[in-house]
C-alpha cells in the first residue's frame, strides 16, 4: 500500500485538482482544501519563525504599544467579558514565560504562560470555545495552547535530568546542564470513517466515552515505523476485526489536547462481521444514512461535537448536518 496521500488519490482514481462536496460514497475521491476549513485548521497569522532567534527584535516587539498578548494558565486561555479570548497589552500581561506567536494585519502577537491564574479573567479550554473562534483567534489559540501543553509536561532534560529553559521565543527547550535542545512534540493520529459495499458507515462507541450512547469514527495513533495508511488498516482490524483494502486521505487538523495531529481518512471494508476488542471499543455498528439520521434524531446515538474531524467525516459521508452532539 502506498504511504502518501497524493499517491492514494491516484490509487483511488481521483483527480488531484477535483474536490467533492456533499454526500459521498465509497467510490468518491477527495483532493484539495476542505471547504469550510476544519475548525482547528483555520489560521490567519504568519508565524515569522525567523524572528524567534532575534532577541533585539523580540525586545522591541514586546515594548510596542500595539502588541497584543494572550494569557494562558494551565493551558487554559483567559477570556474577555464577551467570552472571546482576551488580548492585553504587554504591560498588563503579568509574569510568566513568553512565547512569540506571530503577526497578523500588522499586529504582533505573543502568549504568556502565567505562573498564577490571571485576576479578573475567566479561563476556558480550547475545546470549550473552539466553535466560536474566528480564523485569527483559532490559529493563535491552537498555536499557543499546543506550546503551553508541551511546556507543562516537559520540565527536565530527557538525557541528563537537568532543568529546561525556553529558547527561540518559546519554540525550543534548552537544557541548562548538557545543552540538549528539545522541540515541541506532535503525535500523529489517524481517524477514519469506514464504509462497506452497501455504503454503510461503521461507527463505534469507545470504552472510555462518558456518554453510553456516544458513537464516533474509529481512531488510533501511528506506531513507530508505520505509515498513516498502515495505521488505518491496522487500527480497524485490531479494534473491530474488519479488513480494509482502500484508504483515502480526507484532511487534517491540529488537536493540541494535548499534542496530537488528527489525520482523517475514508476507508473501504472488504469484510463486515464486527468483533470488538473490548479494550478500546465497547460496541460498533454499521449504519445506513437513514438509520443514522433516525438514531441521531431520537438520541439513540449521540455524535461527536462539531469541532472534531470525526463529525466532519460523518457528515461528509451523510451529505449534510445531523442532529445532536455530546
User: What is the per-residue pLDDT across 265-308, written as a single tens digit (0 to 9) for each?
Assistant: 999 999 999 999 889 999 999 999 999 999 999 999 999 999 99
Report the run of H or E that residue 97 belongs to, with start and end: strand 96-104
Among 76, 84, 77, residue whose Cα is nearest residue 132: 84
Catalogue the E-assigned strands of 230-280.
Answer: 244-255, 260-269
Average pLDDT over residues 233-261: 96
Mean residue pLDDT across the chain: 90
For domain 49-151, give the fold: Nucleoside Triphosphate Pyrophosphohydrolase (3.90.79)
Alpha helices per DSSP H over 34-165: 55-63, 126-129, 135-153
The pLDDT, as a whole number, for residue 210 is 62
DSSP code, position 299: T
Q: How is residue 230 written as a grid cell?
A: 498502515
Asked if the model's pLDDT at residue 60 lies above 50, the reply is yes
Q: How is residue 289 written as a grid cell?
A: 444514512
pLDDT band at 211 (very low <50, low <70, confident <90, very high): low
Average pLDDT over residues 206-219: 86
Helix axes 289-298, 309-318, angle to 10 degrees: 120
The pLDDT, as a whole number, for residue 227 is 97
* % residues pLDDT > 90 (the chain): 84
Query: What distance in Å separates the CA atoms of residue 194 and residue 25, rounded to the nearest whole number?
Result: 10
- Homologous superfamily of 5-32+186-318: Nucleoside Triphosphate Pyrophosphohydrolase (3.90.79.10)
CB 24 within 8 A of CB 317: yes
The pLDDT, as a whole number, for residue 35 is 80
The pLDDT, as a whole number, for residue 209 is 73
DSSP code, position 123: E
Asked if the model's pLDDT at residue 55 lies above 50, the reply is yes
The pLDDT, as a whole number, for residue 212 is 76
Average pLDDT over residues 111-129: 95
Count CB-CB contacts under 10 A for residue 208. Answer: 8
CB 245 within 8 A of CB 268: yes
First to last CA, the chain: 35
The pLDDT, as a whole number, for residue 21 is 33
The pLDDT, as a whole number, for residue 142 is 97
Asked if the model's pLDDT at residue 18 lies above 80, the reply is no
Amino acid at each position: 500500500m502506498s504511504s502518501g496521500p497524493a499517491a492514494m488519490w491516484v490509487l483511488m482514481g481521483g483527480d488531484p485538482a477535483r474536490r467533492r462536496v456533499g454526500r459521498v460514497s465509497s467510490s468518491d475521491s477527495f483532493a484539495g482544501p476542505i471547504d469550510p476549513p476544519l475548525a482547528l485548521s483555520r489560521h490567519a497569522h504568519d508565524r515569522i519563525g525567523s524572528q524567534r532567534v532575534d532577541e533585539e527584535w523580540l525586545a522591541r516587539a514586546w515594548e510596542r504599544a500595539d502588541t497584543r498578548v494572550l494569557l494562558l494558565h494551565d493551558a487554559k486561555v483567559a477570556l474577555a467579558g464577551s467570552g472571546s479570548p482576551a488580548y492585553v497589552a504587554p504591560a498588563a500581561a503579568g509574569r510568566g514565560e513568553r512565547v512569540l506567536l506571530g503577526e497578523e494585519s500588522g499586529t504582533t502577537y505573543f502568549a504568556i504562560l502565567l505562573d498564577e491564574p490571571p485576576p479578573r479573567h475567566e479561563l476556558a479550554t480550547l475545546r470549550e470555545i473552539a466553535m466560536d473562534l474566528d480564523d485569527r483567534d483559532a490559529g493563535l489559540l491552537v498555536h499557543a495552547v499546543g506550546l503551553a501543553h508541551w511546556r507543562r509536561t516537559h520540565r527536565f532534560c530527557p538525557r541528563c535530568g537537568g532543568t529546561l529553559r525556553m529558547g527561540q521565543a518559546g519554540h525550543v527547550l534548552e537544557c541548562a546542564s548538557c545543552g540538549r535542545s528539545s522541540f515541541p512534540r506532535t503525535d500523529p493520529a489517524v481517524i477514519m470513517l469506514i464504509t462497506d459495499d452497501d455504503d454503510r458507515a461503521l461507527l463505534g462507541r469507545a470504552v472510555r466515552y462518558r456518554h453510553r450512547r456516544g458513537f464516533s469514527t474509529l481512531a488510533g495513533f501511528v506506531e513507530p515505523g508505520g505509515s498513516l495508511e498502515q495505521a488505518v488498516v491496522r487500527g480497524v482490524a485490531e479494534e473491530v476485526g474488519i479488513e480494509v483494502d482502500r484508504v483515502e486521505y480526507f484532511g487534517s487538523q491540529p488537536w493540541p489536547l494535548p499534542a496530537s495531529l488528527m489525520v482523517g481518512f475514508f476507508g473501504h471494508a472488504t469484510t463486515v462481521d464486527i468483533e470488538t476488542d473490548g479494550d478500546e471499543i465497547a460496541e460498533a455498528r454499521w449504519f445506513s444514512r437513514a438509520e443514522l439520521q433516525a438514531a441521531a434524531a431520537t438520541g439513540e446515538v449521540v455524535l461527536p461535537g462539531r469541532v472534531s474531524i470525526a463529525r466532519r467525516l460523518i457528515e461528509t459521508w451523510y451529505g449534510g448536518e445531523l442532529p445532536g452532539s455530546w
